[in-house]
């Protein structure tokens, strides 16, 4: 006989799990025609568990499980959380144990869609678990791998009769064993926190992580065209809740081919910028796609930039470049050209920060990753309101329209603002000036103006480029080269120069005073020696 059990003292306000027990096939009819509709009528808002309690009396030839019989009922009544079977002698002990440890936190809601199929997040999570156990990466679990999976999840070896089949209630056991929470995402405690770092340190992927991503790229490049098309990229991240590259600021940040495919360099560039901006996201997604080792070994913290400046050489492989400039100067066109996109005469003002990333080939076959971060003119004041605004900046580029004198003047103002901020906070950065739109006639006296600014501030002469003609004058190599030598190309303002002269004067005065005091002490000591000898001879 079917019956409902509630673990509450007040039937009007139930808070416990409601249990419906089915003893024979007729109970299932009673379940769907009376008990479940009755619970709905009473507006009982608690999980429902269906229990088949006579497993020991089942005919051995009966192959239909309770879950199969319950499938149409579960489609009709979504409040049913799960269905289980047990022997009648153990039912109360079983229910008590099950309710205490499983049911309240093991809802099928996040797992099942309306037709009782697993939904995307749970499928992705299970696929991630599958890949972690597929040691030979052949896309299938051998008997040995399946047994290892069983031991890992349930602390018991797999019986030969259990190779096939499965139950809904085991799904949560598997997911929780692999660290997923109720939202079917990895629990926060399973994702290592990046090592603490100072503001002028950055985070990069290690060679081990990059090697893993190279192999992963080849595995999912199913057509062998050297690029991951959108469908292949979707398959790669099918074991994650979603592709991290479909979200800002990574969307459209890397170079893609005519079919929307990511090359290997573009793929690694996407990971590089994600690691730079959010290393925890990198580690989380590496776990999702099946990184086999300790995920904390996939990232490293770089050396302090101040130490790099003392050593006159940066050890970094990923450089972040802030791109400043007035409106219509050509900042966005510069970022587009970095990704190989064609020039467009249409002006689309950009009011938000934007990132692009690509690999830059340096002399000697060395590859460095460059991240360009466009700073809208209206956002400069807000950026510089923070003391550590330039701490993450390896190099700053100031773009101006070489045919517009007002554009040049505004660019130099921005240069002074940024240089002053660096001097005041101690986060000075190398700076380059870019004269865009070189295909147009320069404004009168442009050479004199640029020469004066370069001499006064100690910077290189502006680098002329034309994104329209595709003549970038090896600009990106020059940007990386300047970032690699952080002690050079640092502009100096008049206030900064005066401050340095003042400190030098103070230091020189202190030195003179120190020398004078030392001479006086030596003279006094000599006089005392002389007086002592004179008294002794007398």
What's the pLDDT tens digit per position in 217-227? 999 999 999 99
Please tell me the distance from the alpha carbon of residue 477 to that of residue 227, in angstroms, as a whole number. Answer: 24
Percent of the chain exceeding pLDDT 70 equals 67
Please tell me the distance from the alpha carbon of residue 432 to that of residue 415, in angstroms, as a whole number. Answer: 9
Task: Convert 468-485 to b/e letters by CB count within 10 Å (16 or more is b).
Answer: beeebeebbbbbbbbbbe
Helix (H, G, I), strand (E, B) or coil at 113: coil
Compute CA distances 20 → 3, 39, 79, 109, 160, whole Å. 6, 11, 12, 18, 32
- Tell me the two tokens of residue 529: 């020696």
Please tell me the distance from the alpha carbon of residue 308 to that of residue 200, in angstroms, as a whole number. Answer: 10
- Tell me the two tokens of residue 120: 């995307």
**Lowest model confidence (mean pLDDT) among 52-56, 120-124, 176-180, 424-428:** 120-124
Closest CA to 338 of 434, 242, 445: 434
Residue 62 confidence class, pLDDT cut points 50, 70, 90: low
Per-residue pLDDT, 46: 74
**Lowest model confidence (mean pLDDT) among 7-16, 420-429, 457-466, 497-506:** 7-16
Please tell me the distance from the alpha carbon of residue 260 to that of residue 249, in angstroms, as a whole number. Answer: 17
Please tell me the distance from the alpha carbon of residue 296 to that of residue 49, in angstroms, as a whole number. Answer: 40
Q: In whole numbers, what is the pLDDT of the chain averaged over residues?
A: 79
Closest CA to 213 of 237, 196, 246, 181: 237
Please tell me the distance from the alpha carbon of residue 94 to that of residue 107, in angstroms, as a whole number. Answer: 18
CATH number of 316-494: 3.40.50.300
For the chain, the straight-line distance linking the first and the last C-alpha, in angstroms and rounded, comes to 130
Q: Which residue has the higher pLDDT, 429 or 240?
A: 429
Residue 513 has pLDDT above 70, yes or no: no
Per-residue pLDDT, 516: 63
- Residue intervals of the chain classified under CATH 3.40.50.300 are 316-494
Helix (H), strand (E), coil (C) string for 60-94? CCCCCCHHHHHHHHHHHCCCEEEEEECCHHHHHHH
Please tell me the distance from the alpha carbon of residue 111 to that of residue 59, in angstroms, as a whole number. Answer: 31
Output the CA angle 248-190-291, nearest 5 degrees.
Answer: 70
Closest CA to 83 of 57, 108, 58, 64: 108
Fold entry, domain 203-301: Recoverin; domain 1 (1.10.238)
**Lowest model confidence (mean pLDDT) among 173-177, 395-399, 410-414, 421-425:** 173-177
Q: What are 187-216's pLDDT values in tens digits?
A: 666 667 777 899 999 999 999 999 999 999
Q: What are 141-191's pLDDT values in tens digits?
A: 566 766 676 666 655 565 554 444 454 445 545 555 555 555 556 666 666
Closest CA to 399 of 383, 384, 414, 417: 414
**Lowest model confidence (mean pLDDT) among 44-53, 82-91, 266-275:** 82-91
Rounded to 5, what percent of the chain is helix, strand, coil?
Answer: 45, 15, 40
Per-residue pLDDT, 501: 61
Q: Is the pTM of this model over 0.75?
A: no
Nearest-10 crossing angle of helices 279-288, 120-133: 80
Closest CA to 155 of 175, 181, 182, 174: 174
Q: What are 363-391's pLDDT values in tens digits?
A: 888 999 999 999 999 999 999 999 999 99
Please tell me the distance from the alpha carbon of residue 368 to that of residue 236, in angstroms, as a whole number. Answer: 25
Per-residue pLDDT, 423: 94
CA 460 to chain CA mean position, Å = 35
Residue 439 has pLDDT above 70, yes or no: yes
Pairing relationship of beta strands 203-205 and 80-85 according to DSSP bridges:
unpaired
């Amino acid at each position: 006989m079917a019956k409902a059990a509630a673990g509450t003292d007040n039937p009007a306000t139930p808070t416990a799990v409601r249990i419906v027990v089915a003893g024979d096939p007729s109970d299932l009819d009673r379940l769907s025609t009376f008990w479940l509709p009755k619970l709905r009528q009473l507006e009982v808002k608690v999980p429902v568990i269906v229990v088949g309690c006579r497993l020991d009396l089942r005919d051995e030839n009966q192959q239909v499980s309770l879950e199969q019989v319950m499938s149409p009922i579960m489609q009709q009544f979504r409040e049913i959380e799960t269905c289980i079977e047990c022997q009648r002698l153990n039912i109360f002990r079983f229910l008590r144990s099950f309710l205490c440890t499983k049911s309240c936190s093991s809802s099928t809601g996040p797992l099942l869609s309306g037709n009782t199929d697993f939904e995307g997040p749970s499928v992705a999570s299970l696929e991630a678990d599958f890949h972690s156990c597929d040691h030979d990466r052949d896309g299938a679990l051998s008997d040995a791998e399946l047994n290892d999976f069983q031991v890992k999840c349930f602390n018991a070896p797999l019986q030969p009769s259990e190779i096939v089949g499965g139950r809904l209630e085991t799904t949560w056991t598997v997911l929780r064993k692999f660290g997923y929470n109720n939202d079917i995402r990895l629990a926060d405690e399973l994702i290592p926190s990046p090592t603490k770092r100072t503001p002028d340190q950055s985070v990069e992927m290690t060679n081990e992580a990059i090697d893993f991503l190279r192999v992963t790229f080849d595995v999912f490049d199913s057509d062998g065209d050297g690029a991951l098309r959108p469908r292949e990229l979707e398959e790669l991240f099918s074991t994650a809740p979603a592709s991290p590259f479909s979200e800002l600021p990574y969307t459209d940040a890397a170079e893609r081919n005519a079919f929307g495919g990511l090359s290997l360099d573009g793929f690694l560039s996407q990971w590089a910028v994600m690691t730079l901006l959010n290393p925890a996201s990198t580690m989380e997604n590496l776990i999702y796609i099946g990184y086999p080792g300790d995920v904390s070994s996939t990232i490293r913290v770089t050396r302090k930039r101040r130490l790099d400046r003392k050593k006159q050489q940066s050890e970094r492989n990923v450089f972040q470049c802030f791109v400043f400039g007035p409106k219509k100067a050509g900042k966005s066109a510069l970022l587009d050209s970095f990704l190989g996109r064609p020039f467009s005469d249409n002006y689309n003002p950009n009011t938000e920060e934007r990132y692009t990333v690509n690999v830059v080939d340096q002399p000697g076959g060395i590859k460095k990753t460059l991240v360009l971060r466009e700073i809208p003119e209206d956002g400069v004041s807000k950026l510089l309101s923070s003391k550590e605004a330039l701490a993450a900046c390896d190099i700053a580029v100031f773009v101006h329209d070489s045919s517009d004198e007002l554009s040049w003047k505004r660019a130099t103002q921005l240069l002074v603002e940024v240089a002053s901020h660096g001097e005041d906070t101690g986060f000075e950065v190398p700076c380059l000036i870019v004269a865009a739109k070189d295909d147009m006639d320069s404004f009168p006296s442009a050479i004199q103006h640029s020469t004066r600014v370069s001499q006064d501030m100690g910077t290189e002469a502006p680098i002329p480029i034309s994104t329209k003609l595709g003549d970038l004058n090896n600009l990106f190599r020059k940007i990386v080269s300047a970032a690699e030598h952080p002690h050079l190309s640092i502009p100096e303002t008049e206030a900064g120069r005066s401050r340095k002269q003042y400190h030098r004067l103070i230091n020189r005065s202190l030195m003179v005073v120190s020398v004078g005091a030392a001479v006086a002490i030596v003279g006094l000591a000599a006089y005392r020696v002389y007086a002592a000898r004179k008294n002794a001879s007398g």
